[in-house]
């Protein structure tokens, strides 16, 4: 043990001699000698975790961010064995190295996840990096949203705007504006009317499959819609609004998967309104929590039934900061 401390002492002396006469605080050679001895000391005094952190910091000093990231990642695998200080060093290190390396190795979204986790550690120094990443992500998502609207790609729009809303500093007024634009596009899609001859043939077939709907009262038809929206004894929509030529349904987030497995029910409900109004009816399904489009159901006279346009795809990965 004495020889270990003697080695550290000698290394410190060498470091001082190498630094004399230079404005550079730490020369590469001095850093290499000192880091080597510190890593040796870590191996004896604090174990492999400290050694990984020390190696990572040494590689950062040399600009080897990829190697440094590997050392930090190794240390992170032993999170339960880390002290609060070590955990902060590891998380800050992962954030900084991913930020320095950047895409394509570490896409912007992944950097955000990592740096958000780092900021949860008391004393984290990654606030500036995190703020810069959020700014870049907001700008990238804004561009993606505008392109999706221009291309009438509502599925891409829904996915991106949900992620945009989860970012700190998002603009609620822009979210409202974009959502309005999306609904305008959808309403135009729903207004594409078939010819009278095509509609007449479809009405004839649907009336055979769904008799007596035309004679129902408004309340009876509403109950019919609600029954068709009930799966396993539970209604999958939270609200029903019935107009002369359109039905509005609101879908709670916890019923999205259930709705996905029962899309035929939405088609049947729209078929019912077609029979009832003897018109080109449509049904709009809205996500209750966000107000975003989920489905548009419209009449397809070629198949003599309603078709469901899927406008929303459930996220395959989690939002970075919650919804």
In a domain, 227, yes or no: yes
- Has residue 320 been placed in a domain? no
Domain assignment of residue 10, given as a range: 2-135
Q: Quick one: pLDDT at residue 92? A: 96
Contact criterion met (CB below 8 Å) for 298 and 309: yes
CATH of residue 252's domain is 3.30.300
Q: What pLDDT does 323 receive? A: 43
**Do 147 and 52 share a structural domain?**
no
- At residue 198, the pLDDT reads 77
Q: Return the structure tokens found at 177.
A: 């504006």
- Which pLDDT score is estimated for 15? 38
Residues 20, 57 contacting (CB under 8 angstroms): no
Tell me how far CA of residue 209 lies from CA of 215, 271, 304, in angstroms. Answer: 15, 10, 11
Enter the pTM of the model.
0.66
Q: Please tell me whether residues 93 and 179 are part of one structural domain.
A: no
Residues facing 307 on adjacent strands: 298
Q: At what angle do helices 218-228 and 263-277 cross, to 10 degrees?
A: 160
pLDDT of the residue at 174: 96
**Strand pairing class (305-310; 293-300):** antiparallel
pLDDT along the chain (323 residues), means of 10: 43 42 46 51 52 90 96 90 93 97 95 95 95 96 96 91 92 94 85 72 92 91 96 92 95 90 96 94 93 91 90 58 49
Residue 36 falls inside a structural domain: yes
What pLDDT does residue 313 have? Answer: 66
Does 77 share its domain with 107?
yes
Q: Which ranges of the chain does DSSP label H, i.e. alpha helix?
A: 2-19, 28-45, 48-61, 65-76, 84-101, 108-119, 127-150, 154-166, 172-190, 196-209, 218-228, 256-260, 263-277
């Amino acid at each position: 043990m004495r020889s270990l401390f003697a080695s550290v002492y000698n290394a410190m002396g060498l470091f001082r001699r190498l630094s004399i006469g230079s404005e550079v605080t730490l020369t590469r050679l001095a850093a290499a000698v000192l880091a080597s001895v510190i890593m040796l000391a870590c191996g004896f005094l604090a174990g492999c975790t400290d050694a990984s952190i020390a190696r990572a910091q040494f590689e950062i000093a040399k600009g080897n961010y990829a190697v440094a990231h590997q050392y930090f990642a190794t240390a992170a695998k032993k999170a339960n064995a880390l002290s609060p200080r070590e955990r902060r060093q590891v998380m800050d290190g992962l954030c900084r190295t991913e930020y320095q390396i950047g895409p394509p190795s570490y896409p912007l979204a992944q950097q955000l996840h990592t740096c958000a986790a780092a900021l949860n550690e008391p004393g984290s120094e990654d606030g500036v990096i995190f703020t810069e990443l959020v700014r870049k992500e907001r700008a990238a998502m804004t561009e993606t949203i505008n392109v999706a609207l221009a291309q009438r790609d509502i599925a891409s729009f829904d996915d991106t705007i949900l992620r945009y809303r989860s970012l700190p500093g998002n603009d609620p007024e822009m979210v409202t504006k974009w959502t309005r634009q999306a609904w305008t596009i959808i309403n135009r899609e729903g207004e594409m009317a078939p010819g009278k001859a095509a509609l007449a043939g479809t009405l004839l077939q649907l009336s055979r499959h769904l008799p007596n709907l035309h004679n129902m009262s408004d309340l009876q038809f509403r109950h019919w819609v609600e029954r068709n929206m009930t799966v396993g004894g539970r209604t999958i929509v939270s609200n029903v609004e019935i107009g002369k030529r359109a039905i509005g349904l609101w879908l709670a987030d916890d019923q999205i998967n259930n709705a996905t497995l029962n899309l035929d029910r939405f088609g049947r409900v729209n078929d019912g309104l077609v029979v009832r109004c003897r018109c080109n009816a449509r049904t709009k399904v809205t996500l209750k929590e966000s107000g975003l489009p989920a489905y548009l159901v419209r009449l397809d006279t070629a198949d003599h039934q309603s078709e469901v346009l899927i406008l929303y795809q459930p996220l395959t990965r989690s939002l970075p900061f919650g919804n």
